[in-house]
Structure formats: C-alpha cells, structure tokens
C-alpha cells in the first residue's frame, strides 16, 4: 500500500475514534451540569409534582450509562432520537439548521478565503509599501472589533439608514436564492470581516517565512520576477500553514458563529445548540456535538492530507 493511502486510512480511523470520544465527553459534560431538562422546561413555573411527572415521562430517572448506550445504539441505526423538550424528531430539525449553517458558512467562505489569500499575496508583493500597510491596517481593525459590534454597526448603517439589506436574517425553504442572499448579506459581511484578517496575515507570514530560504534567493539571482517567485516557489511551500489556518477558520464559520446568529436571528446550528445546552436536552446536544465534531475532524483531515501532499519531505518519508 502506498504510504499516503495508509496515512489517510489511519487518519480516518482515528477520526472515527475521536468522534466516539467526543460523544462521551459531551455526554459527561452535559450530565454534570446542574439542573435537568425537566426543571428547565418548566422554568419558574415548576412545581414538585409537575417535575416528578415530567422526569418520569422523559426517562430521566434511568442511570446515565443506560441513557448513553441506548442513544449510541440509536445513532448506529441512523436514529438521532427526539428532542426531550418538544418531542420533535431531531434529524428533521437538525437538517434544516445544518443546511442553514452551511449555507451561511459557504457564502462567507467563498468570499473570504480567496480574498484573504489574494490580499496576503498582494501584501507580500508590496511588502512594507502602502498597499501592505493599508491591507494590514484595515484587516487588523476589522478583526479587533467584537463581532456583535460590527453586526450592530452594519445593521444601523446598511439596513436602517440606507435600507439596503434586511436586518433580520431569517431564511426558509420557500425563499428564492436571491431573497436568501439578500437576507444573509449583512451576516456574510460580518463573518468575512471577522475571518479575513487571520487568514490573510497567516498567508503573508508563511510566504515571507519561505521567502528567506536559499532557493528563493537563487530564484531571485536567476532574475525571475517577484510575482513569479511568489507563485512558483514561495506559495507552494507555504501551503501547509495556510491550509491549516483556512481550515481553522472554516471550522469557525460552521461551529463558532453563535453570536452572529443571535444578532441576526439566523436559524443556524449554534443558536439551536445553545438553546438545548441551556435546557439540558442531552440528545440534541449530543447530536449537534457529534456533527460539529465531524465537521471539525473532517476539515482537519483535509488540512493534514494537503500538508502531506504539499511537503515533498513528508510525501516521501525516508
């Protein structure tokens, strides 16, 4: 077997193992939280009788281990179960939330990733001259402002003052693509601004790092143009850290946008998960956690493989 295939297979197996470990961690985490789902459902209106009745109905009196394994059994058969709080089928609610989250992440990534790499290259090309400084300054500013703040400021100007895009990003299946894009325009702007700087700076730093290598010096002595050197020699060798930071940010776009979802009332997974964490609705938290973990592990797998492919030394281990 080719060593790369073997490596990939290894990583995949590890990924699955990791998922399993994550599910235990999340379960244990939610189980040690004070309060339980019955208490949370009834809120301030809880009476001891109502609590006891609800607990019995939801099967909360069973030991934690039993509950965990019955859940795991369901998952292996493709059944995510039903939410304890409102009795809905989790797979159904989750799939629409997940597709919303991916929709938003996709558009933010489509804009942010190429833009970040382009700006990074541009900054290297014009290093220490005004384009570099302006790019650095602007991206630094956007990354330095809390994301809810960027959100509110954009809502105020773009939506209220100029009346351009919707301030509420609620989307649903009956909307056309155009309507959906109109609804998510401001959140996409916010997310782009938030993730841009990190990726752009890492691109810049990684390429600059490579630029100090002897072979770049050689290429320069050969009289190659700056752009060509970056494209042919520096960029391919800087791919590993760039891909790493891009994957980190993609993962962030999927799993870390709770605040943006709150500000724009966007029906994504983050808000869904937070709601259910606070209600101690363990099956939903488990399902969400599993999906987040899968997204994260999958993206990292890609980053790892790309790093391996990009580095000749790793590609051909001695």
Partner 1 sequence: MNDQLKHLSERVTKGLMTRREFVGRAAALGVTAAVANSMLATAAKAEGPVKGGTIKIGASGGESTNTQDPALTASEVPLYNLRHWGETLVDVGADGSLEMRMAESVEGTADAKKWVFKIRKGIPFSNGKDMTPDDVLMTMQRHSNEDSQSGALGIMRGIENMAVDGDNFVVELSTGNADLPYLMADYHLMIQPGGGMDNPGAGIGTGPYTIEFDEPGVRHGFKRRDDYWDSENRGHAEFSEQLVLNDATARTAALQSGQVHMINRVDPKVAGLLDRAPNLTVKSVAGRGHYVFIMHVDTAPFDNNELRLALKYAINREEMVDKILRGYGSIGNDMPINGSYPLFDDTIPQREFSLEKAAEHYKKSGHDGSPIILRTADGAFPGAVDAAALFQQSAQAAGIPLEIKREPNDGYWSEVWNVQPFCASYWGGRPVQDQMYSTAYLSTADWNDTRFKVPEFDEMLLAARAEIDEAKRKDIYSKMGRMLRDEGGLILPMFNDFVGAIGNNVGGYYDDPNGPLMNNKAPIKCWLTDA
Partner 2 sequence: MRIPISALIGLFFTGLFFVMAIIAPLIAPYGMAEVVGDVWEAPSDKFLLGTDSIGRDLLSRMIYGGQTTIFIATAATILSFVTGSVLGFFAAVSGGWVDQVISRFVDLIMSIPSLIFALVVLSVMPTTIPILIILMGLLDSTRVYRLARAVAVDITVMDYVEAARLRGEKIGWIIFRETLPNALSPLVAEMGLRFIFMVLFVSTLSFLGLGVQPPQADWGGIVKENKEGINYGISAALYPAYAIAILCISINLVADWVLNRTTSLKGGRG
Residues near partner 1 (CB under 8 A)? 33-35, 39-50, 53-54, 57, 83, 85-88, 93, 96-97, 152, 155-156, 159-160, 163, 166-168, 170, 172, 262-265, 267, 271-272, 275-279, 281
DSSP 8-state assignment for residue 117: H
Q: Which stretch binds partner 2 (CB under 8 A): 55-63, 78-86, 172-180, 286-294?
A: 286-294
The whole-angstrom distance between residue 203's C-alpha and the CA centroid of its chain comes to 19
Q: Which is nearer to partner 2, 91 or 306 (CB)?
A: 306
> Which of partner 2, partner 1, none sits in contact with 141, Cβ below 5 to 8 A by type?
partner 2
Interaction residues for partner 2, span 110-129 (CB under 8 A) = none
Distances (CA, A) of 152 to 216, 248, 265, 267, 316: 45, 25, 12, 18, 51
Does residue 302 touch partner 2 according to CB under 8 A? no
Are the C-beta atoms of residues 208 and 282 closer than 8 Å to each other?
no
CB of 40 to partner 1, least distance (A): 6
235: helix, coil or strand? helix
Whose CA is closest to 19, among 297, 283, 254, 274? 297
Q: Does 29 bind partner 2 (CB under 8 A)?
A: yes
Site residues for partner 2, 68-97, by CB under 8 A, read none
Q: CA-to-CA distance for 269 and 244, rounded, in angstroms?
A: 24
Distance of CA 34 to CAs 38, 218, 316, Å?
A: 12, 64, 52
- How far is it, in rounded angstroms, from Cα 156 to Cα 148? 12
Among 12, 110, 149, 170, indicate the residue that binds partner 2 (CB under 8 A).
Answer: 149
The contact set with partner 2 (CB under 8 A) reads 14, 17-19, 21-22, 25-26, 29-30, 32-34, 133, 136-137, 140-141, 143-149, 152-153, 155-156, 160, 197-198, 201-202, 204-206, 208-209, 211-212, 240-241, 244-245, 248, 255-256, 258-259, 270, 273-274, 277, 289, 292-293, 296-297, 300, 307, 311, 313-314
């Amino acid at each position: 077997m080719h060593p790369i295939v073997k490596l990939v297979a290894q990583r995949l197996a590890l990924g699955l193992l990791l998922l399993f470990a994550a599910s235990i961690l999340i379960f244990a985490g939610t189980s040690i939280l004070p309060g339980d789902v019955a208490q949370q459902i009834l809120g301030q209106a809880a009476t001891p009788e109502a609590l006891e009745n609800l607990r019995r109905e939801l099967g909360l009196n069973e030991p934690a281990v039993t509950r965990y394994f019955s859940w795991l059994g369901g998952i292996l058969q493709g059944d995510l179960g039903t939410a304890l709080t409102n009795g809905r089928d989790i797979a159904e609610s989750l799939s629409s939330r997940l597709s919303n989250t991916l929709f938003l992440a996709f558009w933010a990534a489509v804009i942010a990733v190429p833009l970040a790499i382009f700006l990074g290259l541009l900054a290297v090309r014009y290093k220490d001259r005004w384009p570099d400084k302006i790019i650095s300054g602007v991206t630094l500013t956007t990354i330095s402002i809390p994301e809810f703040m960027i959100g509110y400021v954009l809502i105020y100007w773009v939506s209220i003052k100029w009346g351009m895009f919707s301030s509420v990003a609620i989307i649903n299946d009956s909307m056309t693509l155009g309507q959906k894009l109109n609804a998510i325009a401001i959140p996409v702007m916010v997310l782009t601004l938030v993730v841009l700087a990190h990726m752009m700076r890492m691109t810049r730093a990684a390429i600059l790092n490579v630029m100090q290598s002897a072979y770049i010096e050689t290429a320069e002595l050969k009289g190659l143009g700056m752009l060509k050197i970056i494209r042919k020699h520096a960029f391919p060798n800087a791919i590993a850290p760039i891909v790493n930071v891009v994957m980190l940010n993609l993962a962030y776009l999927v799993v870390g946008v709770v605040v943006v979802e709150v500000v724009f009332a966007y029906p994504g997974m983050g808000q869904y998960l937070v709601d259910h964490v606070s209600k101690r609705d363990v099956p939903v938290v488990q399902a969400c956690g599993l999906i987040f973990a899968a997204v994260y592990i999958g993206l990292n797998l890609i980053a790892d493989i790309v790093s391996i492919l990009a580095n000749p030394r790793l590609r051909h281990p001695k």
